[in-house]
Structure 1
Amino acid sequence: MSDQNDGNPIKRSPPPFSKDPRLQPPTRTKIRQQKLKYTFVGYIIVLIFLAITQFIGVGFFTQGFLLSRNVLPDISTCQDQNGCVPPRFDKAILLVIDALRFDFVIPVPDSKEYYHNNFPILHELATQNSDNAVLLKFLADPPTTTLQRLKGLTTGSLPTFIDAGSNFDGDAIDEDNWLLQLHRINKTIAFMGDDTWKALFTEYIHPDYHFPYDSLNVWDLHTVDNGVIEHLYPLIDKENSTKWDLLVGHFLGVDHVGHRYGPDHYSMKEKLNQMNEVIQKVIDSLDDKTLLVVIGDHGMDSTGNHGGDSRDELESTLFMYSKNKTFLKKEKSVYNTTNLGENYREVNQIDLVPTISLLLGLPIPYNNLGFPIDEAFGSLKELSTAAQKTIDQIGSFRKNTPNLADSLIEEYQSFDSNYDTYGTSATHYFDLIEQAKLYQYLSLEQCKGLWATFDLRLIGIGVGILFLALTFMITYSRSIPAVRVSTMSFEFIGSVVAMAIMGLVLSFSVYIVLKPSDFTLRICLAIGAALGMVVGFWAPIMDRFSIGFLWHQIVDFFLYNFNSWSFMGILFVVFHCLIFASNSFVVWEDKMVSFFLLSFGGCCIYGCYTNNKLSERQKILAISHAITFTICTRLSSMINLCREEQRPYCEPNFTNSWWSIVLLHVAAYLLPACIMSFYKLSDSYHSAAPLWIGTGMKFLLFMNAVYWTFEYVSNSEYLSKLNTIIGLSLMRSFKLAIARLVLFISLILANFSWSRGPLCVKLELSGTNTPTNLDIEETDDSDSDASTKTATILGYGNVYGSSYFLLVLNFSIAIMLTTKPLGALSLNLLLIQILSLLEILDVLSIRRNLISPIIFGLLGYQHFFSTGHQATLQSIQWEFGFMTTESIVFPFTHLNIYLNTFGPFFIPALAIPLITIWKIVPSSKPITLLSQIITNITTLITYHLFTGLSSLIFAAHFRRHLMVWKIFAPRFMLSGLLIISLNVFLIFVTLWFGTGKILTQINRIFGK
């Protein structure tokens, strides 16, 4: 787009006689500023509407794709189940040790790991008191997050994938569960520990014995556990043991050690030893009428995280103990694997629900799908009765559940008739129990298949809306520049608004008249708004341009603006989209992205070497930039946090080690020096640059290194004496102060100063003292020396880029703080990559080429992976939420996690205008400059929209794939969040705050 008035004198009427400046006609500069302002606002509005359309598409797809299941509101009663069995135990103590992986509690010979052989009491009791204790492998259902596990452990139903998102915002359970059954018969429930129980069961827990603790601060290893112990020990004393019927204690220390340090840390040994002492204390206080149940809700992987379905995450622990009641003993299952703990039988976690209900004489919860645990009962006769009660409950549930009522009828009737025939014969108890298990197994597998339901209509609507948004975005971004000119008129914006309102009105009318049962009013309004905006986008364009003209413009783009670099960019986009067609390629996406960038780096080296337009010195400098980019790319790709599926071909090295802390201190001095060298290439290291880079950046990076030094010292076993001398609480205070200071300076103070501060230029006057700013007072006309002075503006050739890059540094420092040391080093390399890339684009004259914004997009993906992330739930680094707060405080806790997760994408997104404004002099046509920046911003959005839409389409295509919830679903969720996050960041931070400020300021100072 061109500024048609720029370059031509503006004709004006003769000035009036009045000398009042308010009455003077507007100057050419003011007219240009006003025009720039209106054009800028127009771009913002168009991009906001495009973003809203994409958000609606993502919302529809998500609602149609994520799992749903039928939850019946019925509450079981003893009458419904032909009477309840007499209770084996009067009371129960349930101790939940979060993330208690099974190999933590069994002997592992010759193991030196901290998580082995430090919790021996459960295994010792199971072997030495085999009649009174049972130790089993407890298999969780994915997703292995605490809230979903608690739902399964109390209701007996299966979790759904969408529930994983509510792990940090749990709502009360709205279905039958065994705590509700206890409450209905006026039993007293006491609880202490993880406050997730408060969210789920607060109405059932006695208010006098309710002691919840904040569960999400994974940096805190002891507060929750110490609080549980503080209230647990008094309640298990004999004088207080009559005050409760169920006592629940949920310990979090083991889980928090895993999240913070990983399982192989000396803190894990201390925590397991503490749990060993707790169990011993509880057993010593146990009476003959009380059942002790110790469980883990899930395990943890080798990094200490959980949420997925790897074996280490699924295998937890179940221990039952009674002082005078005997348990059945069974041989290990023939289906056990040959992994560690193979001599222990496996049971599903949902099997605890009918087991504990029958042991306490309660009705089995209505939605239960589990089967009683064999070992929990005293004889085969008791177990056969328990099996019969459970099968009756499951049969009742199936009878009242759509899509289940007409299946497995023959199996249920066969079991019922067999039970009536020989239910009292001891010789047939075993056969009867096995038949019941088969029925329960078939029912469970059928429910798993039926509950993996997808609403293909909503999925199709979502994909369709995103596709329409993509077609317009392609047209808007690069192919047809004339379209952007037309969309800047407020007639176009009015068309979009009017059509969106019309779509809302029509969809509301359709809903009122037809009253569709399948779609809610909210869905109808969203469809109407999205389609209305799409029509509003295209209607003015099709009215102004014919289809033939649009096709001609597209052909012209490929004929005259297409070259080998554009072809490479298209290849990268196509190959990246095709990655999602294979689960293996999705798993290795990090290496694929690095391959794309290394290929580009190699082509840049060749392109600089064969560029005959450069002098020898320029060619050497250009090749050095290309080599620097390639080396930084290779170094970043060497930082790995391996997915489970990548092993054994990937060795993880993303750890906090002493050498990474040392490198962080070194980088605090090297990175500012490197950036300073780039600034000096364009003679831009003046005014604001030394303050930002030489002083501010160096100080903040040093403080970042100090923070992680304190973190390493506080976590080191070898420096434990130093921890004692300094004090962990004092060290924690230091870290909080440093983190808050760095984030406040980098995100608030530095950005405010940048928006009001000077440019990176310096005015040099020959033959006199050199002023250091541009506020030069006018000299007297009679001063003969003034006429001989010459002025030179140092940094004039890169006035846009040098000043704008300071904004990139502000956000980069904040993101580096919320990243682990190796991740911060990766982001150091990212900044060098960006500067080298900008120099390459300038030398090769491809700054307007399609490849440029695509490489910026690929850089975001590369450093997402190299900062310790993967497209999995387990790789989310929740612990960073408590870097600046000791408890959950909105928005600070959420901001830290957000910066940690999406920061690697935000830095290239913020730097995208530099493609246009790096190493150029102030333009007399700022609107043209803005148009070129919009081209690159929208191209980056288009790239992420391409990959996101491909991810969504293949996730829907493979919805019945074995790996859908492990690979395809998390990847589509990442794509959806990226589409939302990058649109918001690019519009409001990159364009509104960054680009608008720098163009306005420079146009005001240097405008002609």
Structure 2
Amino acid sequence: MMRQNQQQARTRIRQQKLKITFLGYVVVLIFFSILQFLGIGFFTQGFLLSRQVLPNIAECEEGSNGFGACMKPAKFDKAVFLIIDALRFDFVIPVNENENPNPYYHNNFPILYDLVQKHPDNGVLLKFMSDPPTTTLQRLKGLTTGTLPTFIDAGSNFNGDALEEDNWLLQLHRHNKSVAFMGDDTWKAMFSDFINPELNFPYDSLNVWDLHTVDNGVLDHLYPLLHKDNSSNWDVLIGHFLGVDHAGHRYGPNHHAMKDKLQQMNQVIADVINKIDDKTLLVVMGDHGMDSTGNHGGDSLDELESTLFMYSKNKKFHINKKSSDFYNTSDLGKHHRSVNQIDLVPTISLLLGLPIPHNNLGFPIDEVFGNDKDLSLASHKTVQQIQNYRNLYPELAKTELSEKFQYFITNYSQFSNNKKYFPEIIRQAKDYQSESLEHCKSLWARFDMVSIGIGITTLLLSLSFIITYSRSIPSVRVLTMSFEFIGSVIAMTLLGLVSSFSVFIVLKPIGFTIKTCLGIGTALGITIGFWAPIMDRFSVNWLGHQLFDFLIYNFNSWSFMGLIFVVLHCLVFASNSYVVWEDKMVLFFITTFGFCCLYGCLINTTKSKPEKVLGITHAITFIILSRLTSMINLCREEQRPYCTPTFTTSWWSIILLHMMAYILPVVIRSFYHLSNSYHSAAPLWIGTGLKFLMFMNAVYWTFEYVENSDYFLTLNLGLSFSVMKSLKLAIARIVLFVALVLANYSWSRGPMCVKLELAEGASPVASESSESSEEQEISDQSNQSKSQGTASILGYQNVYGSSYFLLVINFTSAIMLVTKPLGAISLNMLIIQILSLLELYDLLDIRKNLVAPIMFGLLGYQHFFSTGHQATIPSVQWEIGFMTTENITLPFTHLNIALNTFGSFIIVCLAIPLITLWKISPSNKPITALSQIITNITTLLSYQTFTSTSSFIFAAHFRRHLMVWKIFAPRFMLSGLLLILFNVTLVFVTLWFGTTRVLSQVNRIFGK
């Protein structure tokens, strides 16, 4: 009895010591995370600049010279604007049979082209070129203010605030015009102050799986307002349709839903034309296009080329043949002139008798002015407005363009009444506007190199932090050392924050803000606070030894290979071509490691023949799965024509999904059988829970496929799509709740994957402890078996790994739901790859090697690409956000998108402790296992920090590269998001929730 009490006391002491040590590790890693977040913030602030917005509002009479900024009288009394979101230009022009038209989006919207052909003086059809990023909020800013967006504004597409910058809706409001609106609620967020509140009908815009609600709502209000009895209630009517855009997001352009939507819009335009009068201007336009997958946000031609159609029953338009050098051709049947979207702003303003918005950079569209005299007058007013803007913008004033402006004004004053000089006046105005626009683009592409430098320096400091800490873990395992770090970091951080105010006073004259100084103070405080106790306790030679030990990590060929992979991955970002083909580079690294494992198993002389065969089998399995995974891909635009996209939803992918619901549990069970661990919790989690959740996932995507399939629609099976939609919502909510909440709670309280097998005649020893749980029973009986040899514990040799892996299964089940079928197949293969790697690490004895966590990181990248993602904005699968909700609901919509986008990395981060825990028996020194887990976690963080920092450095280096916004900027943004994800997931989920639970439970039961 006394011996048992002493043992329990020792176990409790170890538990307490384990908790305190764990707390020390977590706090230090939290400080490291803060340091990295500061580095990302500084770099982003310097790299993704925003444009300075001038608050000035244009007036009809501006300046002391009484310059008239408006054209009076207005050429139109009323205007109807119909925005068809994502109306790509080739959707509205005819395609001949010999040009292989696509039946889904070609020749289904002919009315615009036909009207221009039949009545060329009444309408104009133009290619409408948008500026990247091609997201709706940024396009609406350009279409209403005439200014250029900046790249960082893309992030605000889902958080649109009221637009305070001068725009033509504001001008309508100031001139007592009534604006009616219906459609995309982005307009409400931006322009609610300028829209007649009684005629404002916004609809939720981001549920891309809903093709009809917004369009039907627009039509419900549009037609009654166009009736002559209601026409006096409004001066400008705006309708924003979303069906075409949502059809593209949900199905892509190659789908019958796209055909139906285009035909519906064709009929809408015909109806509207019949209802408008002779004094009303009709404008039909798209805000952007879409790529071959139906997405947008980037700068490919398909995303940039949209449509502009302007029509009036009263003859107002013509093609200015005297200015034909500004046109590709007058044959609208073959070629179409391109205009910038910002050109709409001065055009609309002048036609409606409004002043051009103060910050406009566009130029009037030639065709909509009736003659050269009107166009030259419009050109003069636009040039005057642009120069007014430049005079008030500090960095634009007093340039060479000011002289060109004065030259133009002089010529206009002399020749404005001589029609012979009208074309020359127009040409000079166009030249001035073009040069001004290019000047503004170059100005707003300036980067804050100070912030960029601070960001990169901070990331490099964090890199020295994590490398040193990961290699000094055997030393900081001592409790006093861990808390020396914490106390020093807190003290120095507070000192840094206080010093920041003094630094701000000194640096304020050169542009430093208090926010910047506080960030610098915090970063320096954390860094100095970390290094102070190390420099105090250890010598420089020790530090050099630790760094050298980290780089070689038990130096052998495996360590060298891991180091080479890191270096090569960092060098990928030195070339735009390598960034584009990063997925193939990652495949090369993974397959190289697989073949090395195969070779290692073949020449291994320390293992028995069955073990060698098993190792060879695992290596071959790993290689084959890696190759199969690489066959699932979503091609970037730059990879064409050398890449064929395979990431599609088809009938065979649905069948595979159903098959994997049975195959994966069987495969996982076979791995558990290798260590005799398929007991207690394992059959429930793997044989029942995982199989059920995967089956429900397959049912969900089956419903999705049936709902969207042309074949099932033609069968007319009488399926109720409203019922199917309700079933899908119910399935998605049940699966996510069970996988993320119920299963994880049960796992944290449930049993382990072990079983006590009693020999015949053996009897359990009654426990006198207050504990009467299954854990206490196993503990008592295992102690008896050790002394009497009457029982054995099945699964004892893998008690850590088999139990922890169930947590990985929980999250994987949820991630598979929000991943499209082929992506879910890829994640199935990821799980098997991880298990094969764990077995190979054990057989080859490389679990403590540098290459082990690096390979997990590479697997995360491989399956990021194979789940239908690329380092591009259009590849984000926004539609997944609405699997569990019909509207945007925080946090569920955002959680779905995050799990879908970063699911493979989350699985890898969760699986990292298995490198240490897989196939090891319980130890009476759990802190040793914890320190090795921390080493692997910090090694993975080091690998990601190396690659992210390299991405940041090369993005800054190539900031003037032609492909900076298309390739380097999106890749650095992905790197920043991954750093944040890795820190949060590894610290709070992997370490805080998962690792300590397993170590504590095993130590409590099996502690000696």
TM-score by length of 2: 0.95
User: Matched residues in 2 for 1:351 and 1:770: separation?
Assistant: 89
Instruction: Answer whether contact 1:642 1:650 (CA < 8 A) is retained.
Output: yes
Q: Unaligned 5+ residue runs, structure 2? A: 765-772
Question: Shift of the alpha carbon at 1:413?
Answer: 1.5
Partner of 1:541: 534
Alpha carbons of structure 1 residues 479 and 199: separation in structure 2 relative to 1, 3 Å? same
Match of 1:493, as an amino acid? Answer: I
Question: Shift of the alpha carbon at 1:25?
Answer: 11
Match of 1:141, as an amino acid? Answer: D
Alignment of 1:179-190 (within 5 A): 179-190=169-180
Partner of 2:17: 35
Partner of 1:821: 821
User: Matched residues in 2 for 1:371 and 1:406: separation?
Assistant: 21
Alpha carbons of structure 1 residues 729 and 526: separation in structure 2 relative to 1, 3 Å? same
Partner of 1:475: 468
Question: Shift of the alpha carbon at 1:416?
Answer: 1.1
Alpha carbons of structure 1 residues 770 and 268: separation in structure 2 relative to 1, 3 Å? farther
User: Matched residues in 1 for 2:861 and 2:403: separation?
Assistant: 54
Instruction: Answer whether contact 1:763 1:770 (CA < 8 A) is retained.
Output: no
Say if 2:247 is the partner of 1:261. Answer: no
Say if 2:1004 is the partner of 1:969. Answer: no
Partner of 1:302: 292
Q: How many aligned residue pairs are there?
A: 987
Say if 2:793 is the partner of 1:764. Answer: no
Partner of 1:85: 71
Say if 2:367 is the partner of 1:375. Answer: yes
Question: Shift of the alpha carbon at 1:769?
Answer: 9.2
Question: Shift of the alpha carbon at 1:768?
Answer: 5.3
Question: Shift of the alpha carbon at 1:141?
Answer: 0.4
Question: Shift of the alpha carbon at 1:722?
Answer: 6.0
User: Matched residues in 1 for 2:23 and 2:356: separation?
Assistant: 62
Q: 2:690 aligns with which of 697, 716, 719?
A: 697
Alpha carbons of structure 1 residues 634 and 786: separation in structure 2 relative to 1, 3 Å? closer
Return 409-418 or 664-673, whichever deviates more. 409-418
Alignment of 1:99-498 (within 5 A): 99-110=86-97, 111-330=101-320, 343-407=335-399, 408-478=401-471, 481-482=474-475, 485=478, 488-498=481-491
Return 448-457 or 929-938, whichever deviates more. 448-457
Alpha carbons of structure 1 residues 831 and 641: separation in structure 2 relative to 1, 3 Å? same
Alpha carbons of structure 1 residues 501 and 786: separation in structure 2 relative to 1, 3 Å? closer
Instruction: Answer whether contact 1:713 1:723 (CA < 8 A) is retained.
Output: no
Question: Shift of the alpha carbon at 1:586?
Answer: 0.5
1:824-859 Cα deviation digits (max 9, x unpaired):
000000000000000000000000000000000000
Return 341-350 or 352-361, whichever deviates more. 341-350
Question: Shift of the alpha carbon at 1:400?
Answer: 1.4
Partner of 2:916: 916
Partner of 1:624: 617
Alignment of 1:397-796 (within 5 A): 397-407=389-399, 408-478=401-471, 481-482=474-475, 485=478, 488-511=481-504, 515-516=508-509, 518-555=511-548, 561-720=554-713, 725-767=718-760, 776=777, 790-796=790-796
Instruction: Answer whether contact 2:284 2:310 (CA < 8 A) is retained.
Output: yes
1:55-95 Cα deviation digits (max 9, x unpaired):
01100110111022222111111111425212100010000
Match of 2:119, as an amino acid? Answer: N
Question: Shift of the alpha carbon at 1:29?
Answer: 1.1
User: Matched residues in 1 for 2:663 and 2:467: separation?
Assistant: 40
User: Matched residues in 1 for 2:580 and 2:778: separation?
Assistant: 63
Question: Shift of the alpha carbon at 1:514?
Answer: 6.1
Question: Shift of the alpha carbon at 1:240?
Answer: 0.5
Return 478-487 or 116-125, whichever deviates more. 478-487
User: Matched residues in 1 for 2:912 and 2:716: separation?
Assistant: 44
User: Matched residues in 2 for 1:735 and 1:557: separation?
Assistant: 50
User: Matched residues in 1 for 2:199 and 2:551: separation?
Assistant: 73
Q: 2:28 aligns with which of 46, 71, 96?
A: 46
The DSSP-based 3-state class of the residue aligned with 1:923 is coil
Return 518-527 or 446-455, whichever deviates more. 518-527
Question: Shift of the alpha carbon at 1:113?
Answer: 2.8
User: Matched residues in 1 for 2:42 and 2:416: separation?
Assistant: 52
Question: Shift of the alpha carbon at 1:426?
Answer: 1.1
The DSSP-based 3-state class of the residue aligned with 1:27 is helix
Instruction: Answer whether contact 2:473 2:931 (CA < 8 A) is retained.
Output: no
TM-score by length of 1: 0.95
Partner of 2:769: none
Alpha carbons of structure 1 residues 319 and 762: separation in structure 2 relative to 1, 3 Å? same
Question: Shift of the alpha carbon at 1:509?
Answer: 3.4
User: Matched residues in 2 for 1:888 and 1:598: separation?
Assistant: 41
The DSSP-based 3-state class of the residue aligned with 1:940 is helix
User: Matched residues in 2 for 1:237 and 1:204: separation?
Assistant: 23
Partner of 1:6: none
Return 287-296 or 79-88, whichever deviates more. 79-88
Partner of 1:927: 927
Question: Shift of the alpha carbon at 1:517?
Answer: 5.6
Instruction: Answer whether contact 1:486 1:541 (CA < 8 A) is retained.
Output: no
Match of 1:432, as an amino acid? Answer: I
Instruction: Answer whether contact 2:104 2:259 (CA < 8 A) is retained.
Output: yes
The DSSP-based 3-state class of the residue aligned with 1:719 is helix
User: Matched residues in 2 for 1:254 and 1:380: separation?
Assistant: 37
Question: Shift of the alpha carbon at 1:763?
Answer: 0.5
Match of 1:477, as an amino acid? Answer: S
Alpha carbons of structure 1 residues 768 and 728: separation in structure 2 relative to 1, 3 Å? farther
Instruction: Answer whether contact 2:497 2:521 (CA < 8 A) is retained.
Output: yes
The DSSP-based 3-state class of the residue aligned with 2:68 is coil
The DSSP-based 3-state class of the residue aligned with 1:718 is helix
Question: Shift of the alpha carbon at 1:325?
Answer: 2.7
Question: Shift of the alpha carbon at 1:15?
Answer: 9.1
1:226-270 Cα deviation digits (max 9, x unpaired):
000000000000100111000000000000000000001000011
Return 691-700 or 61-70, whichever deviates more. 61-70
Question: Shift of the alpha carbon at 1:615?
Answer: 1.3
Instruction: Answer whether contact 1:819 1:867 (CA < 8 A) is retained.
Output: yes
User: Matched residues in 2 for 1:1000 and 1:49: separation?
Assistant: 24
Match of 1:531, as an amino acid? Answer: L
Question: Shift of the alpha carbon at 1:777?
Answer: 9.1
Match of 2:919, as an amino acid? Answer: K
Instruction: Answer whether contact 1:948 1:972 (CA < 8 A) is retained.
Output: yes
User: Matched residues in 2 for 1:921 and 1:981: separation?
Assistant: 31
Instruction: Answer whether contact 1:103 1:340 (CA < 8 A) is retained.
Output: no
The DSSP-based 3-state class of the residue aligned with 1:173 is coil
Alpha carbons of structure 1 residues 115 and 777: separation in structure 2 relative to 1, 3 Å? closer
Alpha carbons of structure 1 residues 57 and 555: separation in structure 2 relative to 1, 3 Å? closer
Instruction: Answer whether contact 1:155 1:365 (CA < 8 A) is retained.
Output: yes
Question: Shift of the alpha carbon at 1:420?
Answer: 1.3
The DSSP-based 3-state class of the residue aligned with 2:194 is coil
Instruction: Answer whether contact 2:473 2:935 (CA < 8 A) is retained.
Output: no
Q: Unaligned 5+ residue runs, structure 1? A: 1-13
Over aligned residue pairs, what C-alpha RMSD do you find? 2.4
1:745-783 Cα deviation digits (max 9, x unpaired):
000000001001111011001215999966549999xxx
Instruction: Answer whether contact 1:480 1:554 (CA < 8 A) is retained.
Output: no
The DSSP-based 3-state class of the residue aligned with 2:718 is helix
Alpha carbons of structure 1 residues 244 and 492: separation in structure 2 relative to 1, 3 Å? same
Instruction: Answer whether contact 1:761 1:773 (CA < 8 A) is retained.
Output: no
